[in-house]
């Protein structure tokens, strides 16, 4: 069983729709959760960062963490064609300068 599972898509939605992206994980030691956006041939760009369970909102983006279910989500409201990219979830545990464990990414396409 992989540590972090993420549906690779592609996920295609019309402009203006609410997008829901999700990851599940198996390691209960994960405490820090991040979402990155990666455009083609670019580096991952940090979108959201959350610690432990709960919700966090930033503009059109909302990150949600449910540690009891080992499930995290990213919601994008009023989606725009410029949101078309690969979205990567990532997580790490407490205890030092560890690397992140990534999901494989979901390819999102927003249709104009």
Is there binding between residue 41 and other proteins (CB under 8 A)?
yes
Comparing CB distances to other proteins, the nearer of 8 and 16 is 8
Residue 32 within binding range of other proteins, rule CB under 8 A: yes
Size of the site for other proteins (CB under 8 A): 25
Q: Does position 87 bind other proteins by CB under 8 A? A: no
Binds other proteins (CB under 8 A): choice among 19, 44, 85, 108: 44
Task: Please name which of 51, 61, 64 lies closest in space to residue 92, comparing C-alpha atoms.
Answer: 51
Helix (H, G, I), strand (E, B), or coil: what is residue 83? helix
Burial of 96 (0-12, 13-18, 19+ CB in 10 A): exposed
């Amino acid at each position: 069983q992989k540590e972090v599972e993420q549906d690779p898509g592609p996920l295609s939605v019309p402009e203006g729709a609410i997008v829901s992206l999700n990851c599940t994980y198996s390691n209960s030691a994960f405490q820090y959760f991040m979402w990155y956006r990666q455009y083609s041939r670019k580096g991952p760009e940090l979108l959201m960062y959350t610690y432990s369970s709960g919700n966090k909102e930033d503009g059109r983006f909302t990150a949600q963490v449910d540690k009891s279910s080992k499930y995290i989500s990213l919601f994008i409201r009023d989606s725009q064609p410029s949101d078309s990219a690969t979205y990567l979830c990532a997580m790490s545990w407490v205890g030092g300068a560890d690397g992140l464990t990534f999901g494989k990414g979901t390819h999102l396409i927003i249709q104009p």
